[in-house]
Amino acid sequence: MSRYVFEAVHVLDFSWVGVGPIVTKYLADNGAEVIRIESAARPDVLRIAPPWKDGLPGINHSQFFASFNTSKKSVTLDLNQPKARELALRLVPWADVIGESFTPKAMRKWGMDYEQLKKIKPELIMFSTCMQGQTGPNAMYPGFGQLAAALSGFYYISGYGPSDPPSPPYGAYSDFVAPRLLGAAVIAALDYRRRTGKGQYIDMSQYEAALHNLAPAIIDYFATGRVLGPHGNRSQRFAPHGAYRCRDEEGAERWIAIAVAGDQEWRAMLAVLGDPACDSKFATVAGRLAHFEALDECVSRLVSDREAGALTTELQAAGVAAYPVQNCMDLHQDENLEAFGFWNWLEHKEMGHCVYEGLQHRMSRTPGELRSAGPVLGQHTDEVLTGMLGLSAAEIEQLRNERVVF
Amino acid sequence: MTCELLKGFRMLDLADEKGALCGKLITDLGADVIKVEPPGGCSTRNIPPFLEDQPGPDRSLYFLAYAAGKRSVTLNLESPDGRALLADLARKSDFLVESYPLGYLDSIGLGYEALSKLNPRLVYTSITPFGDRGPGKDYKAEDIVTWAAGGMMYLMGEEGKPPLEMALPQAGLHAGGEAAIASLIAHYSRQSDGLGQRVAVNMQACIVWTLMNEQAMPILHGDHLERTGVYTGGLGARKKMVYQCRDGYISSVVGGGASTKALVDWLAEAGFAADWMKQKDWSFWTPGLFMKATEKDLQEIEELEDCIQRFFNTMTKREIYDNALKRRLLLAPVASVTDIAADVQLKARNFLVSVPCDTLGRTLTMPGPFAKLSETPLDPPRRAPRLGEHNQEVLGDWLGLSADRLKQLRNSGAI
């Protein structure tokens, strides 16, 4: 039995930024050998994006990049140069999976699209993922996940109410929807190839993938014309349902999220909050849903002097769903994430000891793990060019002088 | 045509809204996914809103979306016969996914230990809100609670106002997606050595992962972000992410480079650009992105944003987006489902598909396959099942139960 699930799987990864690298991270953390081909002339934008080690910028100082590229190797090849493409093509026979996430013209321009690459390796599995897919009038749309999140409806459904401006999700939201779906397809395709010997091409539009998280609203619109809009934290099922401000701690505001399902939970909550009588109009689910604004005010009043952490413990003990609204500082002190072993400290070649988000799942028999920190730019260029392509030190030096490799 | 990727594989789906998307994705990949429901129906059948606001077990929009293509079997796990039937089904299955409170299935003899003895090949995936070890392992968690625990809620909303979740709760969808990919990793392993395993998915961790590495800020920069509404912050800059236009909102951030240059050119053509903007070299102007913003940067950002806002006030979302596509601007409309339904790109790719639903006497339109695969196209969605619709087929075909035995089980309340 091999130690890691994808131990014998080889991945040549031309993708960059979020979705592609997160997909190949699933493979890399489970043992696949993933070689990222990076351009030094036009580096992955994550390489220069914060957070940086000690807050200091630098091409090898981005924790953002390091986190999305754990367990991988980095080789620098400037694919705009024919010699670099020649070298990349020589790695194709080795690869089981090739990934890329440029706008659709890039790989074609380099003669490295699926049609070309499958001539070298017919059983290749290749994925392309861009904002809006490889075909259609908007295929060339440039962008990143922040825009895809607006395009796929998530900005529109986030906010306090229909007359308020949107309150968008943080960051490139769709970048955290698409990879799980694309990764599932790639893994299933690998298994299929193992059974049949057949490779294939996978075209994922990140926009389309994200729309799966909006599916009920899409069905509703086509069926009845209703347009889902923002409505704060109001729910049609739970009341109360929202974030309620607790007592400040160390000068910072604290909130608790609470969702109450039925009358029994409601009474349990009131017992904890010390107001068993409360207003009788809140006694039934229908009453609470109907008077949700007054209800929110009532709950806010009852929790305003409580400590969010202690109140969570009490409410949960009474069978009420609650948790502090955590900021990023809190996450690092969260006992449940800690107990799951979520935080991993890894040694990065330039950043040294840094904390990484671990896997979001755990497998009992063949667990994956963050096998190494993200690579510095070109960390494995020599290793790969010498070890896999048989280039001599002098030849590599020559390529460096020509800026083919970095 | 069934997608060949998982054709012939079977999943027992005992997940509620913490993991309904898992079975949906596994269905898209071609597996036969059996939704195992209590006799009163899965709780996801009761999630509002309902089609035309008429409640009913086959009318929850959530259920229609995320049970699409699954088959339904009712089993009363509170009865010994119901449990025995689930164990029998598990012998003949490849995957099981569940999201019961931690330990519940163990307590009725249907935990991983018990079922893996009957079927060592089984990949058994459990979704829990807060993992299976910490002080919160038995905590109750509706979607908004894990959204808060995972850190996304804190960052959504305006300063001084409550943190927000979206109008369509998302935490369970992230957990469901993670359960699908994790189950497939275990599947890949099982297909080589014949052994399944237990997979534990942590919902809270799934939300932390959506924070785009913001979690590292406190440790590396000694700082963390606050809620800033339509602004994005960091490194001394405060930039607008959302602009108003005539019929809604537009998302774009002035980030410098070719896109900002193209936007300024457009402003100039329309007479909305200040002179200094026309003369400025925007290629290396990236304040607050890769370097700390200076006073001058802040002033430039503000003036530029002001011009953009005045310009966008004169146009519709559609006009702005059409121009952005031509001019290659980093910009998107804040699209509603109306915009999505009318989008030419989705139409050209036939993404939204019609699904006949005889259960409702109509067709529904829903998202099609999540990716386009050349050799093994994913299955287009099929309608969600009626409660217990496949009792006969599944219990009869898989387990060889006779019509009499099924009747008996129905009478005893096991199914």
- Structure token digits, residue A263: 């009358």
pLDDT tens-digit map of A206-255: 999 999 999 999 999 999 999 999 999 999 999 999 999 999 999 899 99
Please give the C-alpha separations between residue A302 and each of A244, A248, A285, A313, A314, in angstroms, as whole numbers. 9, 14, 19, 16, 14
Higher pLDDT, B232 or A165: A165
pLDDT tens-digit map of A60-101: 999 999 999 999 999 999 999 999 999 999 999 999 999 999
> Helix and strand tally (H, E) in chain A?
17, 12
φ, ψ (nearest 5 deg) of residue B8? 90, -10
A95 and A126 in contact (C-beta within 8 Å)? Answer: no
Instruction: Tally the C-alpha atoms within 13 A of residue A222's C-alpha that lie toward its C-beta.
Output: 20
What is the third-level CATH fold of B228-336?
Answer: formyl-coa transferase, domain 3 (3.30.1540)
Interface of B with A in 308-327 (CB under 8 A): 325
Is residue A164 annotated as a catalytic residue, yes or no? no
Q: Please report residues of B whose CB lies closer than 8 A to that of A114.
A: 374
Q: Is A219 close to B209, i.e. CB distance below 8 A? A: no
Residue A343's beta-bridge partner residues? A357
Spatial CA neighbour of B131 closest among A336, A185, A179: A336
Cα A327 from chain centroid (whole Å) = 18
Q: Is A354 close to B181, i.e. CB distance below 8 A? A: no
pLDDT digits (tens), chain B, 415 positions? 799 999 999 999 999 999 999 999 999 999 999 999 999 999 999 999 999 999 999 999 999 999 999 999 999 999 999 999 999 999 999 999 999 999 999 999 999 999 999 999 999 999 999 999 999 999 999 999 999 999 999 999 999 999 999 999 999 999 999 999 999 999 999 999 999 999 999 999 999 999 999 888 888 888 888 899 999 876 677 899 999 999 999 999 998 899 999 999 999 999 999 999 999 999 888 777 667 788 898 999 999 999 999 999 999 999 999 999 999 999 999 999 999 999 999 999 999 999 999 999 999 999 999 999 999 999 999 999 999 999 999 999 999 999 999 999 999 988 8
Interface of B with A in 11-30 (CB under 8 A): 21, 25, 29
Q: Cα separation of A108 and B98, whole Å?
A: 44
* CB atoms inside a 10 Å sphere around CB B361: 7
Q: Is B188 close to A187, i.e. CB distance below 8 A? A: yes
Tell me, what amino acid is at A12?
A: L
Q: Report the gap between the CA of B406 and the closest CA in chain A (Å).
A: 34
Please give the C-alpha separations between residue B333 and each of A141, A156, A225, B5, B86, in angstroms, as whole numbers. 13, 9, 20, 36, 48
Q: Is A135 close to B349, i.e. CB distance below 8 A? A: yes
ipTM of the complex: 0.98
What pLDDT shows up at residue B290? Answer: 67
Nearest CA in chain B to A300: B162
pLDDT tens-digit map of A99-112: 999 999 999 999 99
Nearest CA in chain A to B217: A51
Q: Cα separation of B73 and B38, whole Å?
A: 9
Q: Cα separation of B242 and A147, whole Å?
A: 11
φ, ψ (nearest 5 deg) of residue A322? -155, 150
Q: Whose structure tokens read 């999540």?
A: B370
Domains of chain A, CATH where assigned? 10-213+338-401 (3.40.50.10540), 241-327 (3.30.1540.10)
Q: Cα separation of B304 and B301, whole Å?
A: 5
B138 and A319 in contact (C-beta within 8 Å)? Answer: no
What pLDDT shows up at residue B234? Answer: 67
Cα A185 from chain centroid (whole Å) = 16
Answer whether B359 touches A (CB < 8 Å).
Answer: no
Spatial CA neighbour of B301 closest among B287, B313, B282: B287
What pLDDT shows up at residue B253? Answer: 93
* CB atoms inside a 10 Å sphere around CB A352: 11
Q: Report the gap between the CA of A386 and the closest CA in chain B (Å).
A: 32
Neighbour-count burial for B382-407, b at 16+ CB within 10 Å, e otherwise: ebbbebbbbbeebbeebeebeeeebe
What pLDDT shows up at residue B400? Answer: 92
Nearest CA in chain A to B170: A213
Spatial CA neighbour of B205 closest among A37, A365, A361: A361
A233 and B156 in contact (C-beta within 8 Å)? Answer: no
Of the candidates B149, B165, B291, the beta carbon closest to that of A323 is on: B149
Q: Cα separation of B388 and B373, whole Å?
A: 32
What pLDDT shows up at residue B307? Answer: 98
Residue B231's beta-bridge partner residues? B240
What pLDDT shows up at residue A2? Answer: 57
Q: Is A204 close to B371, i.e. CB distance below 8 A? A: yes
Please give the C-alpha separations between residue B151 and each of A180, B163, B308, in angstroms, as whole numbers. 20, 10, 32
Of the candidates A1, A55, A203, the beta carbon closest to that of B220 is on: A55
Q: Cα separation of A71 and A375, whole Å?
A: 8
What is the CATH number assigned to the segment(s) B10-209+349-412? 3.40.50.10540
pLDDT tens-digit map of A332-387: 999 999 999 999 999 999 999 999 999 999 999 999 999 999 999 999 999 999 99
Answer whether A68 touches B (CB < 8 Å).
Answer: yes
Q: Indicate whether A1 pLDDT > 60.
A: no
Tell me, what amino acid is at B249?
A: Y
Answer whether B253 touches A (CB < 8 Å).
Answer: yes
What pLDDT shows up at residue B209? Answer: 98
Q: Is A316 close to B230, i.e. CB distance below 8 A? A: no
Tell me, what amino acid is at A243?
A: A
What's the whole-model pTM score? 0.98
| Inter-axis angle of helices A19-28 and A178-196, nearest 10 | 50
Q: Is B191 close to A194, i.e. CB distance below 8 A? A: yes
Please give the C-alpha separations between residue A227 and each of A156, A217, B44, B318, B346, in angstroms, as whole numbers. 10, 7, 21, 17, 18
Q: Indicate whether A192 pLDDT > 90.
A: yes
φ, ψ (nearest 5 deg) of residue B10? -125, 140
Within 8 A by CB and 6+ apart from A169, the residues are: A149, A154, A155, A158, B152, B155, B156, B166, B210
Q: Give residue limits of the domains in chain B.
A: 10-209+349-412, 228-336
Q: Indicate whether A183 pLDDT > 60.
A: yes
Please give the C-alpha separations between residue B264 and each of B268, B269, B278, in angstroms, as whole numbers. 6, 9, 7
Tell me, what amino acid is at B27?
A: T
Answer whether A194 touches B (CB < 8 Å).
Answer: yes
Instruction: Evaluate the CA torsion angle A49, B144, B63, B398 in order and state its sign.
Output: positive
Chains A & B: contacts with CB separation below 8 Å: 511
